[in-house]
Structure 1
Amino acid sequence: MTSILNNAGAISALQTLRSIGSSIATTQGQVSSGSRIQTASDNAAYWSISTTMRSDSMAISAVADALSFAAAKADTAYAALDAVIDVLGEFKSRLVMAREGGVDKGKIQKELEQLKREVQSMAHSASFSGENWLNTDIANIYDFDLNKASSASAFVRAASGGVAVRAMDFHLSAVSLFNSTGGGLLQADARDLETLGGMRRFSSDEPLISDSTVYDGSHGSGWMLPEGSAGGPGIFYLDDFPVGSPLDFTVPGAQISFDIILDKEASNPNNYSGTAAELEELPGPYYLGYPKPITITKADVDAFDPSLGGVITTNTEFAAVLNSVLNVEGAYVSANYGHYVPPGSGSWIHNPKMMSIQTLQAHGDGSYVEIANLSSVGVSAGGLKESFDFGSRGSGMELYFEDFIVHEDGENLDGVEINFTFSVNGGPATSHSFNRTYVNELLGKDSGKVETAEEMAILLHSLIDADWPDLIIEATSPSTIMMKSDPATDRKWGSGTRIEFDSIRVNIEPIPTINFLAIDIATNPDKLSTYIDYIEIATERIIEGAATLGAFQNRIDMQSAFTSKLMFSLDKSIGRLVDADMNEASTRLKALQTQEQLGIQSLQIANSNSENVVLLFR
């Protein structure tokens, strides 16, 4: 029906044209932006996810930049370490050269000083953007919380919506050559436990390398394992050799006769130099000792040394002749007595009158030596006399206490660990260990420090009592601790008794105890061998640090590669959510444009009918 009030065809065509126009605008937006979802109104869920992921992608891009920054710092430090290792090789070669006779050590020291400065220069120059890993300023370089250099390595979003930035840490104690508070690889290691409260001792006045495995002096310095301490052997002294009156055994019938009695136990208080109470606590039976009649004649003198011609003129000759007869019986004679004049001068003055006789404790657990029934014919007794003496009952070891700290040990939260074995009187050794945590819990501290002899005694009791309940451990002064067997239960005498620390191991040793910059072969030529050992240890520590740094560099490279892949993956995932399919969008746009043209033509046709009606009124 034709109406002058409504043009239904035009209205329908106009509505269609409007719908097509809206679709064209949407499709043109997708084609021009490349995005299927541009605003929250397009798809709230997808828009929210894509917007968050784009934000995360920017954060991950920042992580990639941080990794590049960390790689630059690590590369700088590694280049310097590699160069320092080469310089230390030159340094060691100069030290080896200085061992040759006739070499001017003063001139070599001048070369060493220049090499020291070169190492310092390399360490100071190894800086990137103001950060230096080889020349550090760390209050406590052994504290892993303080000595770490951190770099962002990952940006993580949890399922709960929380985010976190993960970091990779590198501990500068592995590569720092010089630290302002000490502890760098070319500085003395402040964690040196020194004598371990007296459990071990110096092998020289100034140890250069703290190493509990050094016990035979082969390093020239360092630490020695403490020798076991035993009760003293029975020994008595003779001070009456007839100086100037030779013992002439060429006289017919000349001889010296006596009985030697060895390793006898004390059978009554009168024969014991200690207290009667100690003897009364120990029931018999008692060992009566090993007796042997001894006769010295010209034949014995000739058997020892025919060049003497049967005549003994000095106490050292007489001691040697006696030893040739008595050693096999279990006694030892010495005449090496005297003193330095002046003290400490190295000039030894021999005492020509003095000798001593002691038991070798070859026949039992006693420690007794006696000369009895002494007589001489045609010759004097050479200063011998009837006498006896006991050694000490039981074992005893006096520790000379020095305070020490059991330090932190990197990732090992329990700190430095000390292991050792302990035995009494040759019994099966027991194994013991302690660390920083053990010391702190035992003494109620957080410093790891054993400060007094009393605290050291407490520590030793806690370690040893369970296996050796009869051992007495007590602080006898602020600087000494006595460890001894209880005479009420230990009936052994003399050198046959023994208290012994052995196999002492500290997990961080060997460590240097001097500074690289303090090496001076001109002033200390006698320490040349130990300087070489020190450089070897220091070089090994730096090589280990460079290896650790190389592993860190490799991790940075792997994390950087992963981060790049992750960023690509995120971009791809975002695209899948919001990017438009350009082939589809362009084809759709073309179709909509065609529909728009047809809609316009339809609107024109619909409007043409209305114009015909209007003509009727003209």
Structure 2
Amino acid sequence: MTSLLTNNAAMTALTTLKSINTQLDMTSNRVSTGQRVSSAADNAAYWSIATTVRTDNASLSAVKDSLGLGSSAVDTTYNGLNSIITDLQNMRAKLQTALQPGVDRAKVQTEITAIQSKMKATADSSVSSGQNWLSVDSSAANTAYQATQSVIAGFSRSTAGAITYSRINVEVSNIKLYDVNAASASVPATEAQVAGSTSLTGTSAFTAGTADFSAASAKQVNFTINLNGSKTQNIKLDATTLGAAVKDLAKVTTDEVLSAINNQIAASTGANSVKGLVAASLDTQGRIVLKTTTAAAASTINVDVVAATGGNALVDIGFGTTAGLAVVAGKGTDAGTSNAKGILDTVDGTTSQSINSINISALSGTTGDATLATLISQVDKAISSVTNAGTKLGANKTQIDGQKTFVDTLMKANDRTIGILVDADVEEESTKLKALQTQQQLAVQALSIANGASANVLSLFR
């Protein structure tokens, strides 16, 4: 039937043309952007994942930059230390020369003074990105000073979305050579603590990141905390004690283990209670740590592994599995003071001179020779201390370089993940584009023919 009011053929052709145009627009967008998922409308799940990974990669890029700056600072400091070690060796040689009979020690002192000036200049100029770790000012007035410099080394996002950063710490207070601060530095009291021998997830209690404490596994952790030699608390982890505290006894997490330990500590009562006096946590290596809440030399803590009960098998969470095995006790320290000066400007108690202020011009006779021998020994100790500082920096450098390589590899892996999720197959899309263009032309022709049908009908009335 042919109708003047309704052109079914034209409507069908128009619908087909619209569908083809929609597909053509989508394919053209994929070809032009190189992505098959360029917005949430294309695939909400893939777009969300890819956006999160891109955000993580941006954070990793910032971490990589931080590692680069940290590496530069470590390199600069390390080169300064190497140069100063050579200067100290020259100074020791000059002092040994001054031991020889008939040597003009005033002239030797002129050379020593030059070496001292060079070492100070080297330390003062060992600056990278505005940071100097060899020549510092640790006085209270200098709020910019940090005894420990932290280099951001890693970025991670938990399943809950929590973001954490790992750090590589450089102990500037242990490698500094000169310090403007003439006062004694305050050293805070420390807590007593005991750490496991290995990461919690690497112990026999855990497999694939979780621990099976179900009744069928018959696993049990059993140890006693002894605090200050007088207060004790037994910690027992098994199917019974964990039953109401964890989501799945067959897949107990490290967080749930820590919570269970801290809950049992908090529930302790009586005169020997350790409630509020000790807490469990994980250190940067993932090891379980038991630490007192009081910082003082009087704070002591140790852990004794005890036998399992009820026919269960004793398993390790870092404190061993042999009953009666006492973990080495941890002991706190009292607050105190320490010399704030650096390796080269600290005055030696025997010679009353620092490396930076050694002066032999007035030394003479047997007494002078004895003082020279002591000064040589002092320089030897300084060489050893500076060498140790270089060793510590070398370890930091190795850490930073290794982390830079890892972060770079991780960023590339993330890029591949994004590509798998959202990148378009250019060959496939270009082929599809040509096919759709052909279909579009045919659909336009079909619509044109359908629209011409009314003219054929009018010819019947001529």
What TM-score do the two structures reach when normalised by structure 2?
0.62
Q: Deviations over 1:31-84 (max 9, x none)?
A: 110111111111111111111211111111111111111111111111111111
Q: Give the whole-Å Cα distance in 1 for the aligned partners of 2:411 and 2:37.
A: 21
Partner of 2:417: 573
Task: Give the equivalent residue in structure 2 for 1:447.
Answer: 336
> 1:425-440 alignment to 2 at 5 Å?
437=332, 440=334
Tell me the equivalent position of 2:263: none
- Cross-structure match for 2:357: 518
Partner AA of 2:362 in structure 1: T
- Check whether the contact 2:20–2:440 (CA below 8 A) recurs between aligned residues: yes
Picking from 574, 583, 594, the partner of 2:438 is 594
Q: Report the CA distance shift for 1:164/1:137 in structure 2 as closer, same or farther (over 3 A).
A: same
How many residue pairs were aligned?
Answer: 306
> Aligned partners of 1:517 and 1:20: how far apart in 2?
84
Structure 1 position 181, deviation (Å): 2.2
What is aligned with 1:137? 137
Structure 1 match to 2:387: 543
Percent identity at matched positions? Answer: 36
Q: Which amino acid aligns with 1:103?
A: V
1:206-605 alignment to 2 at 5 Å? 437=332, 440=334, 446-447=335-336, 512-513=348-349, 514-524=353-363, 525=368, 526-605=370-449
Alpha-carbon offset, residue 146 of structure 1: 4.5
- Matched residue, 2:247: none
Off by >6 Å, runs of 4+ in structure 1 = 188-191, 413-416
Query: How far apart are the structure 2 equivalents of 1:520 and 1:10?
Result: 107
Q: Structure 1's 40 and 190: CA in aligned 2 closer, same or farther, altered over 3 A?
A: closer
Query: Residue 94 in 1 paired to residue 94 in 2?
Result: yes
**Which residue number in structure 1 is paired with residue 58 of structure 2?**
58
Distance 2:12 2:330 in 1: 92
Q: 1:190/1:52 Cα in 2 relative to 1: closer, same or farther (>3 Å)?
A: closer
Alpha-carbon distance in structure 1 between the residues aligned to 2:42 and 2:51: 13
Letter of the 2:112 partner, please give it: L
The separation in 2 between residues aligned to 1:613 and 1:435, in whole angstroms, is 103
The AA in structure 1 aligned to 2:441 is Q
By how many angstroms is 1:165 displaced? 2.3
Q: Secondary structure at the match of 2:152?
A: strand
User: Structure 1 residues 45-54 or 27-36, which shifts more?
Assistant: 45-54
2:336 aligned counterpart, secondary structure: coil
Q: 1:121 to 1:436 in 2, by over 3 A?
A: farther
Q: Distance in 1 between matches of 2:66 and 2:116?
A: 34
Residue in 1 aligned with 2:218?
none
Q: Distance in 1 between matches of 2:90 and 2:421?
A: 63
Contact 2:63 2:153 in 1 (8 A): yes
Look up the match of 1:80. 80
Q: Distance in 1 between matches of 2:348 and 2:381?
A: 7
- 1:415–1:110 distance in 2 versus 1, CA, 3 Å: farther
The match for 2:212 is none
- Structure 1's 613 and 549: CA in aligned 2 closer, same or farther, altered over 3 A? same
1:18 counterpart residue number: 18
Post-superposition CA distance 1:341-386 (Å, at most 9, x none): xxxxxxxxxxxxxxxxxxxxxxxxxxxxxxxxxxxxxxxxxxxxxx
Equivalent residue, structure 2, for 1:71: 71
SS at 1:42 equivalent: coil
Encode CA deviations 1:135-169: one digit per residue, 9 max, x unaligned.
012249xxxx9411111111211111011222211
SS at match of 1:165: strand
Paired with 1:157 and 1:554, the residues of 2 have a C-alpha distance of: 25
> Aligned equivalents of 2:455 and 2:423: distance in 1?
47
**Contact 1:13–1:602 (8 Å) recurs in 2:** yes
Counterpart-to-counterpart distance in 1, 2:109 and 2:405: 49
Greater Rg by CA: 1
CA contact (8 A) 1:436 1:448 kept: no
Check conservation: 1:37, 1:578, Cα contact below 8 A: yes
Q: 1:190 to 1:158 in 2, by over 3 A?
A: closer
CA RMSD of aligned residues (A): 2.9
Contiguous gaps of at least 5 residues in structure 2 = 188-291, 298-328, 339-346
Are 1:5 and 2:5 matched, yes or no? yes
> How many angstroms does 1:107 deviate by?
1.3
Match of 2:42 in 1: 42
Distance 1:538 1:189 in 2: 20
C-alpha contact 2:124 2:134 (8 A) present in aligned 1: yes
Q: 1:1-21 deviations in whole A, cap 9, x for unaligned?
A: 111111111111111111011
> In 2, Cα distance between the equivalents of 1:92 and 1:65?
41
Q: Does the CA-based 8 Å contact 1:437-1:448 persist in structure 2?
A: no
Contact conserved, 1:512 with 1:538, CA < 8 A, in 2?
no
Distance 1:43 1:139 in 2: 58
- CA contact under 8 A between 1:189 and 1:512: conserved in structure 2? no
Q: Once the 2 structures are TM-superposed, how far is the Cα of residue 96 of structure 1 from its aligned partner?
A: 0.5
Q: Secondary structure at the match of 1:164?
A: strand
Q: Shift in Å at residue 437 of structure 1?
A: 3.4
- Write out per-residue CA displacement over residues 388-412 of structure 1, whole angstroms, 9 at most, x where no aligned residue: xxxxxxxxxxxxxxxxxxxxxxxxx
Deviation of 1:435 (Å)? 11
Conserved? CA contact 1:96–1:532, under 8 Å: yes
Task: Provide the rounded CA distance (Å) in 1 between the counterparts of 2:7 and 2:150.
Answer: 77
Structure 1 Cα separation of the partners of residues 399 and 91 of structure 2 = 32
Higher helix share: 2
Secondary structure of residue in 1 paired with 2:42: coil
Distance 1:31 1:17, change over 3 A: same
1:157 paired residue number = 157
Tell me whether 1:179 sits opposite 2:200 in the alignment.
no
Spell out, residue by residue over 1:122-147, the C-alpha distance to the aligned partner (whole angstroms, 9 max, x if none). 1111111221111012249xxxx941
Query: 1: distance between equivalents of 2:348 and 2:458?
Result: 113
Per-residue deviation at 1:604?
Answer: 2.2
Give the aligned partner of residue 239 of structure 2. none
Note if contact 2:152-2:167 (Cα within 8 Å) is conserved in structure 1.
yes
Seen in structure 2, the aligned counterparts of structure 1 residues 189 and 160 have a Cα distance that, compared at 3 Å, is closer
The CA distance in 1 between the partners of 2:438 and 2:63, in whole Å, is 50
| Contact 2:82/2:390 (8 A) holds in 1 | yes
List alignment gaps of at least 5 residues for structure 1: 192-412, 417-433, 441-445, 450-510
SS at the partner of 1:87?
A: helix
In the aligned structure 1, how far is the partner of 2:337 from the partner of 2:83? Answer: 37
The change in CA–CA distance for 1:64 and 1:578 in structure 2 (over 3 A counts) is same
* Kept after mapping to 2: 8 A contact 1:17/1:599: yes
Amino acid at match of 1:530: T
Structure 1 residues 535 and 560: alpha-carbon distance in aligned structure 2, compared to 1, 3 A threshold = same
